[in-house]
Amino acid sequence: MKKTVTLTFSDGSPSIELPIEQGTYGKPVIDIRALGAHGYFTHDPGFTATSSCTSAITYIDGDEGLLYYRGYPIDELAYQSDYMEVSYLLLHGELPTAEQKTAFEQSIRHHTLLHDQMENVFRGFRRSAHPMAVMIGVTGAMSAFYHSGLDNFNPQHREVVAHRLIAKVPTVAAWAYKFNEGQPFVYPQNRLSYAENFMHMMFSSPCEPYEPNPVLARALDRIFILHADHEQNASTSTVRLAGSSGANPYACIASGMASLWGPLHGGANEAVLRMLEEMDHVSKIPEFIRRAKDKSDPFRLMGFGHRIYKNVDPRAAIIRQTCYEVLDELDLRDDPQFKIALELERIALEDEYFIARKLYPNVDFYSGIIFRALGIPTSMFTALFAMARTAGWVAQWHEMLSDPAHKIGRPRQLYTGSARREFVPIEQRKA
């Protein structure tokens, strides 16, 4: 017997019975689709309690601090898998066999190059353009190179799109950095792993040999795993909504990058570093904590809080551990900003304001410190987040279009504007 809920109305209007669906885990959902026929919509600005789709990719339990990719706990993947394997898992739903992994990595390596004409797209930007502006522009421009003949409803076409984006976005990110630096673009070396290749394109130059540090490459790969997907966050929901109209997938991923760039979302890792730079000494922490609590001050403690995690963000604990590994490898344990971060975390976790609101460090709190230790400029932090999240975005886009029942997204609204009124000719208008 399917569980239902009955809506009754205080004015005696006929009650409405709605079905309740239960997923593998998580809160059951009330299927409200029938409400429209009864003359009602639901209202949930910011979608704080709204399920927008059915998905089998990622599960988050904010109260327990759990994160599963296709059922596998994030800590097991972070310490035992790698980003290529996790990308395959997100896309196909199962961990690859050795043969499947080899074939997948081979296909990704085959797509790391950008069309030679794309160099001109980079050169259309000012040298000082923010890397995210460049990534959004260049990724969107891919829709001009891969459009005719692309059938979004053909699963083989979607798989090629997924491989192309997972493979090319690191090249776009690294070239955005080189463009900012005024250095020549470095082509991918397909003998290298995903993270090593990115480091090669970021840090090598034609003038001298460069070999990625394997410990740092491993740490970077782990960070990419942690950022690969996260249910229907703002940027993933943007990709789904854009893709629901059948739009070009490269343009859809560019729209996801645009959403991720916001400081409340993926831009937070860059904002964390700028906040720690502004703090510059542990003695200034109390003033920032005071400002974070002051409702008249728009300042928020960057890297703290989460819409869903009202317990620790499981990724933050892994990122923190990785931060220690990177700083030890680079002999930077006395990094001043790392010390400020540790002290800020200690103070905030003891403060009633943060405890009462369940504001804990999120994934962005430590990632910026690692990126800076790796020599990655603050302006590139969100670009690395976008690189990693590309696997999740394309997996969610693919899942949506694989559903024969999928519909174009079209939210409704609560209208609070003017009632109907007659047009007034300009000569009769008064200020």
Residues that bind ligand SDX (CB under 6 A): 230, 233, 264-266, 268, 292, 300-307, 357, 359, 362-364
**In the complex, least distance from residue 271 CB atom to ligand SDX, rounded to whole angstroms:** 7
Q: In what order do the strands lie in the sheet with 4-7?
A: 4-7, 16-21, 29-30
Q: Which residues contact 224 (CB under 8 A, 6 or more apart)?
A: 83, 194, 195, 384, 387, 388
**In the complex, least distance from residue 252 CB atom to ligand SDX, rounded to whole angstroms:** 17
**Separation CA 347–CA 319 (nearest Å):** 19
Catalytic status, residue 313: no
Of residues 204 and 235, the one with the C-beta less far from ligand SDX: 235
**In the complex, least distance from residue 352 CB atom to ligand SDX, rounded to whole angstroms:** 12
Which phi and psi angles does 402 have, rounded to 5°? -80, -15
Of residues 74 and 138, the one with the C-beta less far from ligand SDX: 74
Residue with nearest beta carbon to ligand SDX? 305
Of residues 173 and 301, the one with the C-beta less far from ligand SDX: 301
* H or E, element range at 318: helix 314-329
**In the complex, least distance from residue 305 CB atom to ligand SDX, rounded to whole angstroms:** 2
Of residues 302 and 391, the one with the C-beta less far from ligand SDX: 302
Q: Which residues contact 12 (CB under 8 A, 6 or more apart)?
A: none
Q: Of 164, 169, 155, 139, which is closest to residue 92 (Cα–Cα)?
A: 155
**Separation CA 264–CA 68 (nearest Å):** 23
Catalytic status, residue 265: yes
**In the complex, least distance from residue 322 CB atom to ligand SDX, rounded to whole angstroms:** 16
Of residues 91 and 141, the one with the C-beta less far from ligand SDX: 91
Q: Is 293 exposed, middle or buried (0-12, 13-18, 19+ CB in 10 A)?
A: middle
Which phi and psi angles does 4 have, rounded to 5°? -135, 170
Catalytic status, residue 306: yes
Q: Which of 92, 265, 335, 406 is labelled catalytic?
A: 265
**In the complex, least distance from residue 255 CB atom to ligand SDX, rounded to whole angstroms:** 15
**Separation CA 98–CA 248 (nearest Å):** 32
Q: Which residues contact 341 (CB under 8 A, 6 or more apart)?
A: 272, 276, 365, 366, 369
Q: Which of 111, 200, 230, 306 is labelled catalytic?
A: 306
Q: Which of 130, 230, 364, 398 is labelled catalytic?
A: 364
Of residues 91 and 260, the one with the C-beta less far from ligand SDX: 260
**Separation CA 370–CA 385 (nearest Å):** 13
Residues forming the active site: 265, 306, 364
